[in-house]
Every structure is written in structure tokens, then in C-alpha cells.
Amino acid sequence: MESTSTSKTVPPTVVILGGGFGGLSAAKTLANKPVSVTLLDRTNHHLFQPLLYQVATAGLNPADIAQPIRHILRDAGNITVVLAEVSSIDPSSKRLLTPQGRSFTYDYLIVAAGARHSYFGHEQWEGNAPGLKTLEDALELRRRILGAFETAEMAESEEIRRSAQTFVIVGAGPTGVEMAGAIAELARHALAADFRKIDARKTQVILLDAAPRVLPTFAEDLSASALKQLRHMGVDVRTNKTVKELNAEGVTIDGEFIASRTVVWAAGNAASPLARELGAATDRAGRVLVNADLSVPNHPEIYAIGDMASFTHQTGTALPGVSPVAIQMGRRAGQNILAQIDRRPTRPFKYFDKGSMATIGRNRAVADLKFARFGGFLAWLGWLFVHLIFLIGFRNKAFVFLEWAWAYFTYSHGARLIYGAFRPKVSPPGSA
Amino acid sequence: MESTSTSKTVPPTVVILGGGFGGLSAAKTLANKPVSVTLLDRTNHHLFQPLLYQVATAGLNPADIAQPIRHILRDAGNITVVLAEVSSIDPSSKRLLTPQGRSFTYDYLIVAAGARHSYFGHEQWEGNAPGLKTLEDALELRRRILGAFETAEMAESEEIRRSAQTFVIVGAGPTGVEMAGAIAELARHALAADFRKIDARKTQVILLDAAPRVLPTFAEDLSASALKQLRHMGVDVRTNKTVKELNAEGVTIDGEFIASRTVVWAAGNAASPLARELGAATDRAGRVLVNADLSVPNHPEIYAIGDMASFTHQTGTALPGVSPVAIQMGRRAGQNILAQIDRRPTRPFKYFDKGSMATIGRNRAVADLKFARFGGFLAWLGWLFVHLIFLIGFRNKAFVFLEWAWAYFTYSHGARLIYGAFRPKVSPPGSA
């Protein structure tokens, strides 16, 4: 694990920080090449984030969308996977430090530690409006969403029942749209027959965005299609709305107060704070402004990729924080390190955009394949197909396919479990 | 939810405390009968405990062996399911109280709150040797077991590596035997190729019991068969051994110290402390000494069943705490309440013992079907078959079958995820 200087006999050491789409893609590029690679991640698994909202809404199991990183890389004899958190990076001594005081030295470093949600200076909102980035996030949201229906069923006043059956999703990008659709379906189909006192179908799902339209990064006609599909599912879409205040009782937007026990934050990203330790300029989202070859300015031995990189050389604006960008960047960073070792010039990164998709619900999605744009059933089939293809491992593909088939034909969600602490507040304030 | 007195128009109120095998069986017996039933449980799901060890050893997902109670009972219009913890029972006013101060009154009460592990007066051991009763327990054990291999891989001394790769299971009843076999298989097959620095196959699994043989409640020839099968899998079985001391560093038995970071407690049960509130005599395990009809002495309106009841009328000793006993007791308690309402005499409980089984590993098990006793592949097939049949819900049967088939042919475990806090201790004490 400890590396020394580059010599003829000792292969150069590459440390990859993060086992997400970018880090894993870099590791695969460097697999069984003449480098000694250490991949550090604070979890033991690679997570397929695009399907994380289905874990949060009880459609999939955690294990369906996650795989142990060391299992994925088991055939790469030159790669060591270490479960460790990194608390700081020192580019001058080429070292990474863990909170326990362990250190890892590198000759080359790929920083791919991703992003967390940004609350735009209102970090105190996080407790009442968690985001959705990790399996823990997804299980916490699942606990809150299923718990809200239990709270409603036990509610001792109509006011509490209504606030428990009101879900607010802040941010109408792909994650927000997917969450809104999935909660609406959960209430209308999967839970409808299970409760005695409440009508789960009367659940209110409110989707907010400060932008004038949903899916603001998509073409306008697809935004319009998504809006129509969301409304058809009963989602209350409110655009041009900014959150002014947020607490345990609900959300205040532009003077109006929405009483809600369950708020999901799907607005804005902030790159890992480790980005600031690389000594380079960052953009407003905390991302490193990388060179054209993805290296960090003044540090040709460090590459920043994925959600941590702001790459503006191709389109003038930063590429979006989506998995195809991270995967392609990981490949380029790995190839550029191999080029440096061979004393060849590095090559600039070029993103090949195959398009984008967002699902809204059963039979509903939008797709932009560059050569064609469409919404509805065909987009939904395409979305299913693409996500199955990109899931890692045959087992996960097979089980997710079966879960989806089961849910499609029975209208049920298989993973409706609350575990961990659930503390309902069912009495009006001030009562016993 | 609040009930009053029994009259001609208002049906009598039955409260069932606990949605395990006993409570659920009672609820099904009372479904769509002229009673108003409230089932209280502190979780939202019924748990199929016999397969819980497979969640702990990363073979199954939580959702594969658990189902929302309200979903199971959705067609019983007279049953209300409430997610609530009960902190006390007052038989004189026929009321149950929650920690939040809510109360539930009953005309008839079925107490089926189960048991926790007993540490025989050493409750301080629990933190270092958790038991296996709930999904949270199983996920905590999974985190510790998988985390131990990660710790071993990062260990900075041979001593730490060895203690991380040593697993001690205290108690060689069915749960202990199943855990020992499953950890041995996980190490030898599923994890063997994934690590770089350690040899996962060199993992030591030690199974302790104070009794002279494993599976002490089974016939002697089956104990001998189980012992042989365990040894063949490399499990170090030590009987006639009592735990004297247990801490974060390991276990002391009869003068010998075993350094181990991961200890599983599978010895002894203690009934829910609510048993003591019924004003009746309890046995050493805290179970209520019930009447022949399962009612609580001096309280013909209260029934205690499952792991909370000590029923000695049939064999002279208490029936074991296994699911068939609880299921049959639940049925009898429900039928006796219906008899009381109809002013018919209650009937004594009679346990019909169909036999018992324990699995040890791949192709390995023991079975006692009363008319025949055998071990090995046939017992293992029988065990698989019986557990699939008794799992609730077609979805769970199908998915567990597929998980098992997948694991059988690939030798892998599908749910190898660590989530929640993982804090490795990899340095020797005193070092930085």
C-alpha cells in the first residue's frame, strides 16, 4: 500500500479516490497495466445512483443496485481496494490522510469523490429535507416516506393527517421528477388497499423548482411532455418557486406555507470539499476548473473527474454531473496517466453525448437521443433497457428485471420495510 | 381504535400485541369474525426469523424475508394494524400504554411480544456480542462480519489480522449452527477471490456451547451428524465450554482467551419484560406459566403465546420457542376468544409436533421428521422446501428461491453491502 519513488522495477503508484462511476471507470482502464493502483472509498460498494430513487420508494433492494468494489475488480491483480475515508490531500508531499491518521502516497492521483447536495447556504435544512446520494440516504428517505403513511393512519387530527400525506420534492431535475412520480405511484397503487383510516390515494405530491420548467436541462418540448405526464399522475407541479424557509412543519415558498412532514431535497450539488485542497480554482458548485486533459492546473500528476470537475473546454459551460460524463472522464484520466508514464503527450477530453432520459412513472418517461426526442411508453421502454444494460453484474440485471416485472404486473412495491428508528408524532402540539 | 364495553351492537375488542408468528396466526384466526381487532407491533413488518441468519451473512435481502403486516392482513376488514411500541400493560383497567402516552383498551388481549436474547446476567456483553432477532440485528451483524474482512485486509499487524479473521459464535442451537456454517462458507467461497493481502479461506470460525453437544434439543445421532458436517466445513466446534468474560478484544472460556473482533450471541432467550406485567408467575426465562387453554392465571381475558408462554401441560417441560409452536398457539388463542364470546368453553392447547430441522451449509443439514431422522443432502433439500413453503407471499418465495439458486450455482452471496457506520481498528494499541 505504501509506495515510494518511480523506478525501473517498482511500478508507479496511482491512487484513485472514490469508487463511483468515474473512479471505477478509471480503475478498469488501469486494470492489469504496469501501474500499482489503490482505490479508496468510504463504502465497500459501487452504487448505481440512477436507480437510487427506487430504493428510497421501496421498489428495489439496496443490494440490487450496489456491488462490492473489490468484487468488481477482483480480476485486476494490480488494484488494491481499501475501505477508508480520506480527510485531506496534501499535493506538495503527494499524500492522502485518513481521519485515523493513516496515509497513502501516490505518484499519480485521480480525484473522483463526487458531490453532495447543496442547500445554498441553508445547511440547517438538511435534517428536515434529506437528499439522495447514498444507500443510507435512500433508506432514510424510505423510512420517512413509509413512516409518513403510518403517521397519517394514526393521526389524531385532520391537520396532522393532511401534513403527513403531503410530500414536497424540492428540485425538478431528473431525481426530483423520478421521486415525485414514484411517491405518487406508491400512494395510488401499492399502498391503496393496506390502510383502514386514510385514503392513500388522496396523498398530495408537490414538486417545486425555482426554474420556469421541469427538467430544465432537457429540451423545452420534453419539459412540456414531462409536465403533462406528471400532472396526469396527480403530481402538483409548481415552477418559478423558491424555498424561503424549511422546518419540521413544512416549507414556505414565496409567502405560502405548505404543511408537510416529508420533504425531499433534489436541488443543486456541491462537489466534495476535498476539491478545495488541490490548490486550483473552483466554480460556484465547488468543482475544480480542470485543464483540457482533465489534469488539475499546476498539478499534471492529479486528475479531477466526474462531479468534482468543471470541464468547460467543449461547450463553454460545465458538462452536467451525470454518469456518462464521469465514465468517459475516468477512461480519459486513466489513459492520460498511462501516456505520462510512457512519456507520450496527454490527450484532451472529449465528451460523446449519447443523449439523456428521465423516467416519470409506469409507462412514462422522456428521452432525448440527439437524433430524436420523444416521451411516453417508448421512452419508458428505452429507459428500462438502458438502465438494465448499464447495471453492473448479471445478478443485479436479472434481479432488477424481475423486480420490475413483478411490480409492473402486480402494481406492488416489494421492499416496503421500515427499519431503524421510527418515532411518529401523531398528536397535535400541546396535547398529551 | 378506542373500544368500550361489550354490547349487542359493538363487537368485542381484541388487541394482539406483536406481529410475529404467534400474533399473526391469531390475527388470521380472528380475520373477518365478529370482533374488532387491533394488532400492535413496533415494526411495520412480519419477519420470517428462521432465515434471518441469511440476511446477517449477506445471502438474502431484508425485504426477502419480511412483509408489511398491514399488507398481509389487508383483506381482513375487522383488523386494524398500528405501528406502535407498548411500554406497559394494566390488566386491572384492561389498557395498554405506549411511551408517547397513547392507550389502547381491550376486552380480550393476546400477548405475543416474543423474546430477546439473554446474557444470563452479563447484559454488558451485548454491545460486543449482538444477538439475532430483528432486521436491525441482522444488518448490524452483516456490517460486523463483512467489516471484519475489510479490517483484516488493512491490518497493520498479524495479530490484528488474525483476530479480525476469527469469528466466535456462542451457542450451538439451530441459529448458532446456521451462523457458523454460513460464515465459514462466506469466507471459503464468496469472498475467497476478492482480497489481495489476506487469504479469506484461512478464516477461523469457532462455535461454543456449554452443553456437551451441538443442537442439544435434537436427537443424539443428529447432533453427531451435525458435528461431523460442521467439522468437514472447517468449523472449530468446542462443547462443554462456558463464556467467562467477553469484551471488544475477544472471549475468555475456561481459562483460555480467544482473540476475536466479531462475536455472535446465539445462546439463551428471555421473554419480553411485558410478561412480568400480567400478574402471573414466570419461569426462569421470564415466560408466563400459562393455563392449559393458554390463558393467563386469574385473567381469562388474556392469552400469552409463543416465546412469551411457558406451556408445560403436554410434556411436563416447556415447549420450545419455535415458530410451529407459536403458530399453533396463536390459532388456539384466537379460537378460544371466539369460544368465550359465544359463551362456549375454551379448549386446551395441544401441540402437534411435525419435527425439526437445522441447516448447516451447502448440501448440509439435519432433519428429524419423527418417523425418520437423517442428515446431509436430503435433509438440506427438505429444509429448503419447508422454508420456501412457509415464507409468506408469492413474491418472497420466488425471490428467495432465485437468490438460493443463484448462490448455489455461483458460490456467491448477493447482498455483500456494508452500510451505516464502519470504523476499522487496524493499528495495534498504542501506535499512531
Provide DSSP, B68-119. EHHHHTTT-TTEEEEE----EEETTTTEEE-TTS-EEE-SEEEE---EEE--
At residue A3, does pLDDT exceed 80?
no
**Per-residue exposure over B42-81, b if at least 16 CB sit within 10 Å of its own CB, e if not:** ebbbbbbbbbbbbbbbbbbbbbbbbbbbbbbbbebebbbb
Which residue in B135, B186, B194, B411 has the most chain A C-beta atoms within 10 A of its own C-beta, making it the best mutation to test that interface? B194
Q: How far apart are CA B92 and CA B78, in angstroms?
A: 26
pLDDT at B409: 83
Query: Which residues of chain A have a CB within 8 Å of the CB of B418?
Result: 43-45, 83
Catalytic annotation, residues of B = 178
Closest CA in chain A for residue B196: A80
pLDDT at B374: 92
Is A415 strand, coil or helix? coil
Nearest partner of A59 among A401, A335, A429, A348, judged by Cα = A401
Element (H, E) at A191: none
More confident residue, A8 or B289: B289
**Per-residue pLDDT band at B412 (split at 50, 70, 90):** confident
Q: Give φ, ψ of B200 to 5 degrees.
A: -60, -25
Is A403 strand, coil or helix? helix
**Are A197 and B80 an interchain contact pair (Cβ–Cβ within 8 Å)?**
yes
Which residue in B42, B98, B196 has the most chain A C-beta atoms within 10 A of its own C-beta, making it the best mutation to test that interface? B196
Q: How far apart are CA B305 and CA A385, in angstroms?
A: 50
pLDDT at A396: 87
pLDDT at B285: 92
**Per-residue pLDDT band at A7 (split at 50, 70, 90):** very low
pLDDT at B309: 97
**Are B68 and A194 an interchain contact pair (Cβ–Cβ within 8 Å)?**
yes
Cβ atoms of B106 and B11 within 8 Å: the answer is no
pLDDT at B421: 59
Is B180 strand, coil or helix? helix
If you average pLDDT over residues B281-310, what whole number do you get? 97
Q: How far apart are CA B84 and CA B82, in angstroms?
A: 6
Distance from CA of B355 to the nearest CA of A (A): 31
pLDDT at A421: 59
Amino acid at B36: S
If you average pLDDT over residues A19-38, what whole number do you get? 97
**Are A100 and B422 an interchain contact pair (Cβ–Cβ within 8 Å)?**
no
Q: pTM for this structure?
A: 0.89
Distance from CA of B282 to the nearest CA of A (A): 30
CB-based burial label for A158 (10 Å; 0-12, 13-18, 19+): exposed
**Per-residue exposure over A292-312, b if at least 16 CB sit within 10 Å of its own CB, e if not:** ebbbbeebebbbbbbbbbbbe
Cβ atoms of B336 and B351 within 8 Å: the answer is no
At residue A97, does pLDDT exceed 90?
yes
Strand partners, B103: B97
pLDDT tens digits for range B342-386: 999 999 999 999 899 999 988 899 999 889 999 999 999 999 998
Half-sphere exposure of A288 (CA within 13 A, CB side): 31
pLDDT at A158: 94
Dihedral sign for Cα A289, A294, A296, A297, please. Answer: negative
What's the 3-state SS for A76-116?
A: CCCEEEEECCCCEEECCCCEEECCCCCEEECCEEEECCCEE
Which residue in A417, A423, A431 has the most chain B C-beta atoms within 10 A of its own C-beta, making it the best mutation to test that interface? A417
Strand partners, A17: A40, A111
pLDDT at B430: 47
pLDDT tens digits for range B22-59: 999 999 999 999 999 999 999 999 999 999 999 999 99
**Per-residue pLDDT band at A423 (split at 50, 70, 90):** low
Query: Which residues of chain B have a CB within 8 Å of the CB of A399?
Result: 399, 402, 414
**Per-residue pLDDT band at B6 (split at 50, 70, 90):** very low
**What number of other Cβ atoms are within 10 A of residue A350's Cβ?**
10
Angle, vertex CA A87, rays to CA A84 and CA A90, nearest 5: 115
The DSSP code for A310 is: E
pLDDT at B427: 64
If you average pLDDT over residues B73-96, what whole number do you get? 95
C-alpha cell at B246: 467477553
pLDDT at B254: 86
**Per-residue pLDDT band at A327 (split at 50, 70, 90):** very high
What ipTM describes this predicted complex?
0.84
Query: Which residues of chain B have a CB within 8 Å of the CB of A401?
Result: none
If you average pLDDT over residues B260-271, what whole number do you get? 93
**Per-residue pLDDT band at A422 (split at 50, 70, 90):** low
Query: What Å distances lie between residue B380 and A134, B361, B375, B376, CA to CA?
Result: 38, 8, 8, 6
Query: Which residues of chain A have a CB within 8 Å of the CB of B420?
Result: 136
Nearest partner of B37 among B412, B387, B341, B352, judged by Cα = B341
The DSSP code for B282 is: B
Query: Which residues of chain A have a CB within 8 Å of the CB of B83?
Result: 150, 154, 418, 422, 424
Q: Give φ, ψ of A144 to 5 degrees.
A: -70, -40
**Are B102 and A426 an interchain contact pair (Cβ–Cβ within 8 Å)?**
yes
Percent over 90 (pLDDT), chain A = 78
pLDDT at B2: 44
Cβ atoms of A405 and A255 within 8 Å: the answer is no
Select from B193, B419, B424 the Cβ nearest to the Cβ of A136.
B419
pLDDT at B431: 44
Element (H, E) at A299: strand A299-304
At residue A429, does pLDDT exceed 70?
no
Average model confidence (pLDDT) for chain B? Answer: 91
At residue A6, does pLDDT exceed 80?
no
A178 an active-site residue? yes
* DSSP strands (E only) in B239-276: 243-247, 250-253, 256-259, 262-265, 269-271
Query: Which residues of chain B have a CB within 8 Å of the CB of A424?
Result: 83-84, 100
Highest mean pLDDT among A149-158, A205-214, A374-383: A205-214
**Are A150 and B83 an interchain contact pair (Cβ–Cβ within 8 Å)?**
yes
pLDDT at B283: 94
Which residue in B416, B423, B425, B431 has the most chain A C-beta atoms within 10 A of its own C-beta, making it the best mutation to test that interface? B416
Select from B83, B422, B432 the Cβ nearest to the Cβ of A422.
B83
Pairing relationship of beta strands B36-41 and B79-83 according to DSSP bridges: parallel
If you average pLDDT over residues B276-297, what whole number do you get? 95
**Per-residue pLDDT band at B394 (split at 50, 70, 90):** confident
If you average pLDDT over residues A274-295, what whole number do you get? 95
Q: How far apart are CA B28 and CA B94, in angstroms?
A: 23
C-alpha cell at B4: 368500550
Q: How far apart are CA B308 and CA B287, in angstroms?
A: 5
**Are B71 and A416 an interchain contact pair (Cβ–Cβ within 8 Å)?**
yes
C-alpha cell at B258: 480467544
At residue A391, does pLDDT exceed 90?
no
Is B274 strand, coil or helix? helix
If you average pLDDT over residues A103-112, what whole number do you get? 97
At residue B5, does pLDDT exceed 70?
no
At residue A33, does pLDDT exceed 90?
yes
pLDDT tens digits for range B185-218: 999 988 888 898 999 989 999 999 999 999 998 9
**What number of other Cβ atoms are within 10 A of residue A5's Cβ?**
9
Q: How far apart are CA A428 and CA B65, in angstroms?
A: 36
Q: How far apart are CA B178 and CA B54, in angstroms?
A: 9
Query: Which residues of chain B have a CB within 8 Å of the CB of A100?
Result: 424, 426-427
Q: How far apart are the first and last CA of chain B?
A: 59
If you average pLDDT over residues B125-140, what whole number do you get? 94
Q: Phi-psi bin for A378: left (phi > 0), alpha (psi -120 to 50), beta?
A: alpha
**Per-residue pLDDT band at A417 (split at 50, 70, 90):** confident
Q: How far apart are CA A135 and CA A141, in angstroms?
A: 10
If you average pLDDT over residues A147-164, what whole number do you get? 93
DSSP B322-380: -HHHHHHHHHHHHHHHHHHHTTPPP---------EEEEEETTEEEEE-SS-EEESHHHH
DSSP B112-164: ---EEE--TT-GGGGGGS---SSHHHHHHHHHHHHHHHHHHHH-SSHHHHHHH
**Are B102 and A415 an interchain contact pair (Cβ–Cβ within 8 Å)?**
no
Q: How far apart are CA A79 and CA A41, in angstroms?
A: 13
Distance from CA of A196 to the nearest CA of B (A): 7
Cβ atoms of B412 and A39 within 8 Å: the answer is no
**Per-residue pLDDT band at A177 (split at 50, 70, 90):** very high
Is A47 strand, coil or helix? strand
Give the count of Cβ contacts less than 8 A between chain A and B. Answer: 132
**Are A426 and B100 an interchain contact pair (Cβ–Cβ within 8 Å)?**
yes
Cβ atoms of A393 and A387 within 8 Å: the answer is no
